[in-house]
């Protein structure tokens, strides 16, 4: 069964959300250590699978062949005490539906937001790096990406739906006297920073600077959008000249403090600075934006600004949900077949092994059979073997997706699996 634990930061309040997001950054290492001791057993030989999806306002853990209780105990030990009761559980259908809604932008702060699909699509590769990837979760995330693409192709929910970064740019550019004479500074070089640079150029910003701790990445991003790269230690100088600053780094700690902002504003009296914090954990220290002349914006401001364009996209939600219904049904059908396939294969192999063993004994005892007689014996052995397993196979298929399927698999394992987990179908027939 697929288990998912879903932690949404939005109801937590900003300080707790910051702490939860900081903890999420180190969660994969914690899970990798915890899952190292999870044994794999049972028909099919599958190993535990797990993956962590993080976005600007969520941390979600998906697993297969992992005890839900074990997973929850890891999360409760890892996240701040005040957030330990916040994760909600989902399984199979509800987990698949939720992830598909996320990929389609239906669970984003900006309805129809596009960046989240890239984050969903990139999760299996990150899970592979952590050692948690496997066929079931790869299929789940692949199905979610496919559902998201269908929603954006077959509905208008993505029409005029900005990413958070582009919404942030639109918000602050509307407050400038002139975009063409303004200077913008972007902290970071990831997806959010790239989106911000792209939108700043599209809105005709006069000058663009990019700062990142890895200077080579800043150079690549700046070159792509006609800007200049600045080394990290030069941030204070560039901030003094900026009209717009967008912070979008993955830093676990805030680095834009009150002192830095006071110094920047002292060098440019009368010129406001529009500062947007798109990071979680926050890049701007709590209270730092109180410096005179600094106008700070965060996710709450972006959500409020986006409401005006939301009505048309809301009308498309029923069509989007109908597509997700179809894709959930398709994935669950695949999952049911996948979960009983090892047991079906085991029964088939047992029948074939018994048939072949008995035929071998028959050939030794009846060496003078004609070719026609041998075919009759072969057909008889095949039909008997198939008749023996036909009813169990039918019941397994009928039970797919239910608790009975799990009980049937356990019974088969108990009755036929060898003590070392070897393939039981490889045994010899009786003398």
Query: How far apart, in Å, are the Cα atoms of 40 and each of 33, 47, 73, 267, 339?
Result: 16, 5, 19, 63, 15
Helices and strands in the chain: count of H runs, count of E runs: 15, 10
How many whole angstroms separate alpha carbon 86 and alpha carbon 88? 6
Query: How far apart, in Å, are the Cα atoms of 314 and each of 112, 243, 306?
Result: 9, 34, 12
| Contact yes or no for 399/405 (Cβ under 8 A) | yes
Beta bridge partners of 50: 63
Residue with tokens 């250590």: 33
Please enumerate in sequence order all residues whose Cβ is within 8 A of that of 379, keeping only pairs 6 or more positions apart, or say none: none
3-state secondary structure of 377: helix
Residue 296 is among the residues annotated as catalytic for this protein: no
- First-to-last CA distance in the chain? 41
How many whole angstroms separate alpha carbon 27 and alpha carbon 61? 9
| Contact yes or no for 222/229 (Cβ under 8 A) | yes
Written as six digits, the tokens of 87 are: 């994760």
Q: Which of 56, 59, 197, 296 is catalytic?
A: 56
Q: What is the DSSP string of 46-110?
A: ---EEEEEEETTEEEEEEESS-HHHHHHHHHHHS-GGGTT--EEEEHHHHHHHHHHHHTTTTSSS
How many whole angstroms separate alpha carbon 166 and alpha carbon 172? 10
How many whole angstroms separate alpha carbon 245 and alpha carbon 276? 6
Beta bridge partners of 274: 244, 295
Catalytic residues: 56
């Amino acid at each position: 069964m697929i288990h998912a634990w879903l932690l949404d930061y939005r109801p937590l309040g900003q300080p707790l959300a910051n702490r939860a997001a900081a903890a999420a950054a180190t969660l994969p290492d914690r899970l990798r250590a915890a899952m190292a001791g999870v044994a794999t057993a049972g028909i099919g030989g599958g190993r535990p699978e797990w993956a962590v999806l993080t976005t600007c306002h969520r941390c979600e853990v998906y697993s297969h062949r992992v005890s839900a209780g074990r997973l929850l105990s890891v999360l409760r030990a890892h996240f701040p005490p005040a957030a330990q009761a916040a994760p909600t559980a989902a399984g199979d259908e509800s987990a698949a539906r939720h992830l598909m809604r996320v990929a389609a932008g239906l669970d984003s702060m900006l309805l129809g937001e596009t960046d989240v699909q890239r984050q969903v699509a990139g999760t299996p590769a990150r899970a592979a790096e952590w050692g948690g990837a496997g066929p079931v979760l790869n299929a789940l995330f692949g199905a979610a990406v496919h559902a998201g693409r269908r929603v954006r192709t077959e509905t208008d929910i993505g029409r005029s739906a900005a990413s958070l970064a582009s919404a942030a740019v639109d918000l602050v550019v509307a407050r400038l006297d002139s975009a063409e004479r303004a200077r913008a500074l972007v902290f970071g070089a990831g997806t959010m920073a790239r989106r911000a640079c792209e939108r700043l150029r599209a809105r005709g910003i006069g000058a663009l600077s990019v700062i990142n701790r890895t200077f080579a990445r800043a150079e690549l991003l700046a070159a792509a959008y006609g800007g200049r790269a600045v080394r990290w230690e030069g941030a204070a100088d560039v901030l003094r000249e900026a009209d717009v600053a967008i912070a979008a780094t993955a830093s676990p700690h805030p680095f834009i403090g009150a002192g830095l902002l006071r110094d920047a504003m002292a060098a440019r009296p009368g010129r406001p600075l529009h500062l947007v914090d798109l990071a979680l954990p926050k890049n701007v220290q709590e209270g730092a934006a109180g410096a005179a002349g600094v106008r700070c914006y965060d996710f709450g401001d972006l959500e409020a600004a986006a409401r005006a364009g939301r009505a048309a996209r809301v009308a498309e939600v029923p069509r989007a949900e109908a597509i997700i219904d179809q894709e959930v049904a398709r994935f669950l059908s695949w999952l049911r077949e996948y979960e009983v396939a090892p047991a079906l294969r085991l029964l088939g192999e047992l029948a074939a092994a018994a048939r072949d063993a008995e035929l071998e004994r028959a050939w030794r005892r009846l060496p003078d059979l004609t070719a026609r007689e041998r075919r009759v014996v072969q057909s008889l052995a095949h039909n008997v073997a198939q008749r023996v397993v036909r009813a169990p196979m039918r019941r397994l298929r009928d039970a797919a997706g239910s608790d009975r399927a799990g009980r049937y698999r356990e019974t088969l394992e108990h009755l036929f699996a060898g003590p070392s987990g070897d393939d039981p179908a490889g045994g010899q027939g009786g003398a």
